[in-house]
Chain A
Amino acid sequence: MGSGMTNATPQASTLSGRLTALANPTRFLALADTLVPWFGGLSLAVLAAGFYMAFSAPEDYQQGITVRIMYIHVPFAWLAMFCYSLMAISALGTLVWKHPLADVALKAAAPIGAAFTALALFTGSVWGKPMWGTWWVWDARLTSVFILFLMYLGIIALTRAMDDPGRSARAAAILTLVGFVNIPIIKFSVDWWNTLHQPASVFRLDGPTIHASLLWPLLICALGFTLLFVTLHLMAMRADIWRRRVVAMRRLSARAAERAAR
């Protein structure tokens, strides 16, 4: 990648035009260099405000102090699903539009998604012990999120299995798309089956069932973690583009040395 992509600027007025413009990795790197400090600073500021609000919000009348785990558990769980959805869109980008950065986006997102999924499981577990009386149950919600975590691990292994990232890109994209069936299962597991996990209380057709004093800090924390995710993803994508350039340049120098020896 990287070569032969210095063609004329496409029309950047439409969304697809903008995505095509970003297909030039050099242009993407310039954009990432500009965005990363801003998104990084913004995410830390929003998280600081969110945690301040969370810890000055009243405790839950039944759950007491343990409700504070909600301000990290819920954003982690949202991000676990958001990251996978982003990877599924990237997979379409690889398979349908052959977008050269889609594969980079998928590969770079997988470890970040795995980390947030692991944290959603862990924070849920230490919330479950005092509130449910158990660290873990194999109910539909917990099991489907655990499967999501295993999917992430599989995708991480596949995207890093081959020396040539272009070869694993197609297989990883197909695996990601097949695994996407799990996302609606996670979302609706609490409605379709009888679970120990509570049903949705924020995004509901009849409005949130959390009091505004707890809902606002939660939404601010979720925004902060989402900004943090975007920052980390841009950084990981940038590192992966650099990695591919190093590989390409080493190959060029090896070929040049071969020619010189002949």
Chain B
Amino acid sequence: MTHAAYVFAAYGISALVIAGLGLWILIDQAGRKRELKELEERGIRRRSDRKAPKK
């Protein structure tokens, strides 16, 4: 293995892991956002929201 291959491996795997981490957080965000929307559509509100005047 030439030394350039070690550098390539370090950068390649790091890019993959960070991209995977970012994607995982994005998927988590999207999932929770969808659940909140579904609950709101069913008319369920948080206690602190129910006290607020209806929009």
Contact A242:B10 (CB < 8 A) given known A111-B21, A115-B17: no
Query: B35 is contacted by which of A4, A6, A246, A252 (Cβ under 8 Å)?
Result: A246
Which residue of chain B has its CB nearest to the CB of A244?
A: B32
Which residue of chain B has its CB nearest to the CB of A36?
A: B29
Contact, CB under 8 Å: A115 / B32: no
For chain A residues 225-262, which have a beta carbon within 8 Å of chain B?
228, 232, 235-236, 238-239, 242-243, 245-246, 248-250, 252-253, 256
Q: How long is the Cα–Cα vector from A112 to B22 in the complex, in angstroms?
A: 9
B30 to chain A minimum Cβ distance, whole angstroms, is 9
For B, the interface residue count at a CB cutoff of 8 angstroms equals 30
B12 to chain A minimum Cβ distance, whole angstroms, is 10
Contact, CB under 8 Å: B47 / A239: no
Contact A66:B3 (CB < 8 A) given known A242-B32, A242-B33, A246-B36: yes
Contact, CB under 8 Å: B3 / A239: no
Which residue of chain A has its CB nearest to the CB of B51?
A: A6
B3 to chain A minimum Cβ distance, whole angstroms, is 5
A254 to chain B minimum Cβ distance, whole angstroms, is 10
Contact, CB under 8 Å: A238 / B29: yes
Contacts of A249 in B (CB 8 A): 36, 39, 44-46
Contacts of B36 in A (CB 8 A): 242, 245-246, 249
Query: B10 is contacted by which of A5, A127, A253 (Cβ under 8 Å)?
Result: A127
Contact, CB under 8 Å: A232 / B21: yes
**B54 interfacial contact with A, CB 8 Å:** no
Contact, CB under 8 Å: B48 / A127: no
Of the four ranges (under 10, 10 to 19, 20 to 34, 35 or more), the interface on chain A belongs to 35 or more
**A27 interfacial contact with B, CB 8 Å:** no
Contacts of B7 in A (CB 8 A): 65-66, 68-69
One digit per residue, 1 when the CB lies within 8 angstroms of any chain B CB and 0 when it does not, for chain A 94-124 equals: 0000000000000000011001001100110
Contact A6:B39 (CB < 8 A) given known A72-B10, A126-B10: no
Contacts of B32 in A (CB 8 A): 239, 242-243, 246
Residues of B within 8 A of A (CB): 1, 3-4, 6-7, 9-11, 13-14, 17-18, 21-22, 24-26, 28-29, 32-33, 35-36, 39, 42, 44-48
Residues of A within 8 A of B (CB): 2-6, 64-66, 68-69, 72-73, 76, 111-112, 115, 118-119, 122-123, 126-127, 129-130, 228, 232, 235-236, 238-239, 242-243, 245-246, 248-250, 252-253, 256
